[in-house]
Amino acid sequence: MFRYLIALFCVATLSLATTVAAAEPGEGLIDGLIAQIRQLEQRLERIESQVDKNSAAIDRNTAPAPQPKVVAQPQKQPKQAQPAQKEKSMALDWTPQEPVDYSGRWLMTLPLGAEHHVAIKKAKDNQLKLVRPRLNLAGVYQVDGATLTIVRPADKRLTGFVWTAINRNTLILTGEPPQGRTGSSYVGATLTRLVESPESR
């Protein structure tokens, strides 16, 4: 629309100049008209250039804003479910070549580091008695090679304790009752003989 008005303005100017030239012919007047036409052309070029710049600015302002890139975050893998409780047994394969006398004084070390001096005494029928007042693991154990299994616990609820020997002077607790009865897990506790057996290997 703006260019159309400029074009009309130029045509009107040329028409006026033609009329004047017809009324008063002369070379000076023609030269003046030519100069005016060139000036009008230059102004028109400047106006067109400005219009183009304004159009480009309008296009930039009205263009939709670029959408931010969304970087997909890798999904975290769920943590592996932890076992509800410690395994009740351990793979121990020491086998004594002859019956072992487990009687004597021992140092019991619990998994959290507490230590108790206990005594193991001989009982009848291949049994041993672990003596320690107010200790859950106290009671009478049946001996079967490298394994001591509780048969008469001091607390009748606490059946299930099993000690496994790894040599003549060291035993590890490998079995226990449900933790609901003991209050905490004792698996991994150790018994270490305080005075080593002369047959120790």
Q: What is the DSSP string of 70-110?
A: -PPPPPPPPPPPPPSS--S--------SS-----EEEEEE-
pLDDT in tens, 47-83: 877 777 777 777 676 666 666 666 656 565 555 444 3
Q: Is the pLDDT of residue 24 over 70?
A: no
User: For the chain, what are the domain ranges?
Assistant: 2-60, 104-193
pLDDT at 32: 76
Task: Report how far residue 50's alpha carbon sits from residue 59's, in angstroms, rounded to the nearest whole number.
Answer: 14
Answer yes or no: are the C-beta atoms of 164 and 174 closer than 8 Å: yes
Answer yes or no: are the C-beta atoms of 172 and 90 closer than 8 Å: yes
Residue 175's SS3 state is strand
CATH code for residues 104-193: 2.40.128
Indicate the pTM of the whole model: 0.51
More confident residue, 33 or 161: 161
